Structure 1
Amino acid sequence: MITLAHISDIHLSPMPAVGMRDLLGKRLTGFLNWKLKRHGEMNTETLSRLVAHMQEQNADFTAVTGDLTNLALDSEVERAGRWLRELGGPEKTVVCPGNHDAYVPGALDYARDQWGDYLRGETIEGEAFPFVRRVGEMAIISCSSAVPTPPFMAIGRFEEKQAARLGRILKLLGDADYFRVVLIHHPPNAELQHPSFGLKGHRLFRQVIAESGAELILHGHTHRSSIHHVPGKTHEVPVIGVAAASAAQGGTLDDPARYNLFRVEKTGGEWRCTMREYGFQRLGADIVMRMQMRIY
């Protein structure tokens, strides 16, 4: 049996010292949004308690689906690297980047440099994404939808070249009978698209999954717990989102902080997968198991 923990939208706080030179372009609107809205909705104590609870599960591997930072300032990216090392070693932890990690041009390149092996794995064609991390009979494929966008936009992009590489990777891993988990920050299902914060290329992503197959798709971005499905090659593929890991109770924007724990094993040639969701309720101070369900 393999256990996989999924956490997302870390949004490390508090915001570091910000100079006027840092607030050029989109970072100005992002800073104002943080000060007026988000700083009261995201907090370090919530995140620390959730991570401590998750670490007690001693999962074999942890997937982080992006938005470790807020404005992708160099100091934020460096702090996120330290946070990742506290979360777990790169041999047991993988990241796919979020739009806040690519907030301005060059930010994602700096994150890849600072986060090192957390953002690396087996690739094809020498390209950064998608990359693969293998854990026993599970293969975790990290895609990137993270691109810089104009102010007031939080869209992601998934383009044809990455799609072609993802298709090849999924086929190779499928032929080798791996349990394939695809990570992408922005949700790819049609139900969660929006002109200002959806995924450009969501149809292309779903086409790749329909043609090449996968067993599970994990995402963040919405700050909501959600379960959807998209067509796969031989079966419907679950698309599972998780609430922001630093979302405080009592917030008006998001679900309270949560993480998911998946248990995967093969029995009689068939995959079995169960999911447990842990986190805060809207009322009460404890972290609880909110849901348990069988996926396969």
Structure 2
Amino acid sequence: MGKKVIQISDVHFGDTTFSLALKSNFLAQLEDENPDLLIFAGDLTASGYAHEYEQALEFVDELKSITKTHIVPGNHDARNVGLVHFENMISKRKFVHTDKNSNFTIIGLDSSEADVSHGQIGRDQMDWLKSELAKIPEDRAKVVTFHHHIIPIPQTGRERNILLDSGDLMHILTENGVDFVLNGHKHVPNVWMLNNMVVLNSGTATTGKLRGNGYASYNQIEIKDGEVFVNLVRTENGSKREIAHYSVGLMDESMVIHSYIHKSIHSV
């Protein structure tokens, strides 16, 4: 049975470039797509203030009325003691979601740090992550999501906001056979393959905080019959462009990516 997962991040309620039109477009597109799951990879707000969270909560309620939704915080959400509002109004800061029908488990982590742009996972969360990964059967796909990126992204300028403990986290992810990592943060969509692990970034879905010729967007992940397709969706008009295609299956009783095709996102 096929599954459709939406990956979104960086909507930034309260930002001067936030667009109500893009928000409305996204919600309409989500209703049309009728996905099975939505993963929000951080930055609901611009500055972590209560009034921004109140607007974000209305949006989150709309998302949850359409599909099952999981959310982790981003660096903007942690500003001005904003994680207090996140936990009181939105959700817990980490989660585990298992979809037995489509044979995958998603683990969400909080990579935010108060009042700074960079982030880290921290030793306690890494220990928890290792414990949760160890519980996942080898024949199930493993997906981990958090806000910050773990490797640089093209066309994002000077690299200064990568996770402070990205090396330790990368070791845990690769040693435990994680198949997909879903991030946000830089407002630039991107996909890498590293040690047979896909690292997929989403752009900003509802703001004008764009770099170069970028546009507001989010990712659509379709899982069907051992194939995974990733589409980049333009929030302005709902147009889609396939950016990645994976063939997945069992090898020695472990879930692995057998082959992949990545299509160009960035002009050189």
What TM-score, normalized to structure 2?
A: 0.81
| Contact 2:188–2:211 (CA under 8 A) maintained in structure 1 | no
Q: CA deviation at 1:294?
A: 0.9
Q: Structure 2 CA distance, aligned partners of 1:88 and 1:229?
A: 31
Change in Cα spacing, 1:154 to 1:254, as seen in structure 2 (3 Å) is: farther
Give the alignment's Cα RMSD to 1 decimal.
Answer: 2.4
Higher fraction of helix: 1
Q: CA deviation at 1:181?
A: 1.6
The residue number in structure 1 matching 2:222 is 263
Q: CA deviation at 1:58?
A: 0.7
Change in Cα spacing, 1:140 to 1:261, as seen in structure 2 (3 Å) is: same
| Contact 1:247–1:255 (CA under 8 A) maintained in structure 2 | no
Q: Structure 1 CA distance, aligned partners of 2:77 and 2:55?
A: 12
Q: Structure 2 CA distance, aligned partners of 1:90 and 1:99?
A: 26
Deviation string for 1:204-251 (max 9, x for gaps)?
Answer: 1101111111121111001001011232xxxx11101111011349x5
Deviation string for 1:15-74 (max 9, x for gaps)?
Answer: 3xxxxxxxxxxxxxxxxxx5xxxx2x4312122212321331111000011100011111
Q: Structure 2 counterpart of 1:85, which letter?
A: D
Change in Cα spacing, 1:190 to 1:197, as seen in structure 2 (3 Å) is: closer
Q: Structure 1 counterpart of 2:168, which letter?
A: L
Change in Cα spacing, 1:211 to 1:190, as seen in structure 2 (3 Å) is: farther
SS state at 1:182 partner:
strand
Q: CA deviation at 1:292?
A: 4.7
- Please say which of residues 87-96 and 107-116 is displaced more in the overlay: 87-96
Alignment gaps of 5+ in structure 2 = 248-268
Q: CA deviation at 1:75?
A: 1.4
Deviation string for 1:128-154 (max 9, x for gaps)?
Answer: 53x2012232211111101113xxx41
What TM-score, normalized to structure 1?
A: 0.74
Aligned pairs for 1:215-294 (under 5 A) are 215-231=179-195, 236-248=196-208, 255-265=214-224, 267=225, 271-279=226-234, 286-294=237-245
The residue number in structure 2 matching 1:114 is 89
Q: Structure 1 counterpart of 2:122, which letter?
A: E
The residue number in structure 2 matching 1:122 is none
Q: CA deviation at 1:91?
A: 7.1
Q: Structure 2 CA distance, aligned partners of 1:147 and 1:87?
A: 26
| Contact 2:106–2:145 (CA under 8 A) maintained in structure 1 | yes
Alignment gaps of 5+ in structure 1 = 16-33, 120-127
The residue number in structure 1 matching 2:6 is 5
Q: Structure 2 counterpart of 1:78, which letter?
A: E
| Contact 1:158–1:204 (CA under 8 A) maintained in structure 2 | no
Change in Cα spacing, 1:172 to 1:90, as seen in structure 2 (3 Å) is: farther
Q: Which of 120, 139, 142 is the aligned partner of 2:108?
A: 142
Change in Cα spacing, 1:272 to 1:287, as seen in structure 2 (3 Å) is: closer
The residue number in structure 2 matching 1:185 is 147
| Contact 1:50–1:258 (CA under 8 A) maintained in structure 2 | no
Q: Does 1:62 align with 2:38?
A: yes
Q: CA deviation at 1:274?
A: 1.3
Question: Greater Rg, structure 1 or structure 2?
Answer: 1
| Contact 1:174–1:213 (CA under 8 A) maintained in structure 2 | no
Q: CA deviation at 1:278?
A: 1.1
Deviation string for 1:159-197 (max 9, x for gaps)?
Answer: 12211211221221143x322221110011255796642
Q: Does 1:173 align with 2:136?
A: yes
Q: Which of 208, 213, 221 is the aligned partner of 2:172?
A: 208
Deviation string for 1:82-112 (max 9, x for gaps)?
Answer: 110111249710001101111133x213211
